[in-house]
Structure 1
């Protein structure tokens, strides 16, 4: 059993919460978040573009299964292949950038300007990559146009304002938590299960996720749906901030509070990243 008093003495005067799980989470999130904040422009653009393209694979699986079975639940499970593609290809979605970079900034390893750059470039490139994949899907699969259009209408016109708010908050929280769970294991089978369950929830429940749903909406527009750019933008500017609130307030903030003293110690210089990683291991 770990001697907590001995660990506190080794870690100096910081009097930190020193459960191994907290140390491991802090070490991983700060290190990974710092790497993301310090990507070059080329790395950032390419990662974002492939995030939109890779998740398009999940959209492709989703419409295939939805048209064949008329089941949102099965379509959601099929969509999980897109989330798995993101993980395996090391590309990222906009809503995957909430927890790790924030922790790095709180620990003094990055700036808010870097975070804005990460968020804005990733979101724009996700949309660009998703648009290309949507165009290819519409071009190659004319028999699936009606499914794309019906699905897009479901996203654009929810039952009520309250439903729109709730589904957008849940989408941001679900993808943020899914990302954290995937990074908490090195077991590929567990990762695949997390992706499948996350897809089941996001698609099966019709959650509103700005970057994911946008690919479907782009496809519907290209397939001839009566959806204008204005319709899309008016939906997008509501959903994206709510996705952010869901990911930041529901998932990131509580986890930040849980490890705040460790992150503050790193920020003050009382604890180096090297020492933190050594303690976590």
Structure 2
């Protein structure tokens, strides 16, 4: 009986890994990485936070430019969506910040006691505003440089605004928030640049190619359409934006982030209670 119990414990240890926390090595690594990086983002100074968000909008604008060019040349939403993946890749390689992209990181850091809810609210609010500011500037450059593409830009923006029903709009917004958040989490799980590029292309295909609604991404196209002379009022945009953004957040937080928080909860709560430190986790993971 004792031998059987010892064997079961040995098998469990082999399954869980080499750490002493009775948790799989992969989950320990995930908790350590997300808390550490989340704390860094939460503690950014104002200039860093603002510039990082603005470049996030500009990087995404590059993807919008690629999308418009491919859409006009081919008429294919699928190819245009894959072209948009260039913007997501630029976002990753330039270490910029896109709203809904990194929901899991600051959330884990706050739960682990490495940041505050106020810091998290500041990160999200400033990122959203600066994304829009950088995107608006790049949208103006696109409209100025591509007068022959205004029709494509306006048609694309109208498709985002003209939804069949509110449930459809909510569903597409949930999917977009979840997809962008999951895409970023997948990229963090690999150091292979080829895999990262593939994830970005597939994410672009899903979000843009399939017409999902993402407030920060679609807003750049809508800004460009308005600058190009589309019959879109500020009130119409704000009404659309007020629905899409909260639902994007629900998609990123509830569908993707919350289940991952639950599976590493014991480590996160242990950090908050002071049962061990980040340095202890680093030793366990090494």
Give the secondary structure class of the aligned counterpart of 1:68: helix
Give the SS at the match of 1:186.
Answer: coil
Could you give the per-residue CA deviations for residues 175-200 of structure 1, whole angstroms, max 9, x where no partner exists? Answer: 00001011111110000000000000
Of 195, 200, 205, the residue aligned with 1:200 is 205
Pair 258,153 (structure 1): closer, same or farther in 2 beyond 3 Å:
same
Q: Which residue of 1 aligns with 2:165?
A: 160
d(CA) in 1 for partners of 2:96 and 2:246? 22
User: How far, CA to CA, are the matches of 2:241 and 2:22 in structure 1?
Assistant: 40
Q: How does 1:1-281 map to 2 (within 5 A)?
A: 4=13, 11=20, 16-281=21-286
1:96 match: secondary structure? coil
Normalising to structure 2: TM-score of the pair? 0.94
Cα root mean square deviation, aligned: 1.8
**How many corresponding residue pairs?**
277
**TM superposition shift of 1:204:** 1.1
Q: TM-score normalized by structure 1?
A: 0.95
Distance 1:64 1:4, change over 3 A: same
* Rounded Cα–Cα distance in structure 2 between residues aligned with 1:215 and 1:40: 26
Residue 271 (structure 1) shift = 1.4
Q: Give the distance between the partners of 2:256 and 2:224, measured in 1 at CA.
A: 31
How far apart are the structure 2 equivalents of 1:10 and 1:174? 32
The C-alpha deviation readout for 1:104-137, integer Å capped at 9, x for no partner, is: 0010000000001101100000000000000000
Deviation at residue 94 of structure 1 after TM alignment: 0.9
Moved over 6 A (4+): 7-10
**Distance in 2 (alpha carbons) for counterparts of 1:2 and 1:46:** 50
CA distance in 2 between counterparts of 1:47 and 1:214 reads 18
Contact 2:172/2:212 (8 A) holds in 1: yes
- Shift of residue 18 of structure 1? 1.3
Question: Could you tell which deviates more after superposition, 254-263 or 89-98?
Answer: 89-98
Do the aligned residues in 2 keep the contact of 1:97 with 1:119 (CA within 8 Å)? no
Q: How far 1:8 sits from its partner (Å)?
A: 9.9
Distance 1:277 1:241 in 2: 35
Alpha-carbon offset, residue 280 of structure 1: 2.0
Unaligned 5+ segments in structure 2 are 1-9
**By how many angstroms is 1:97 displaced?**
2.9
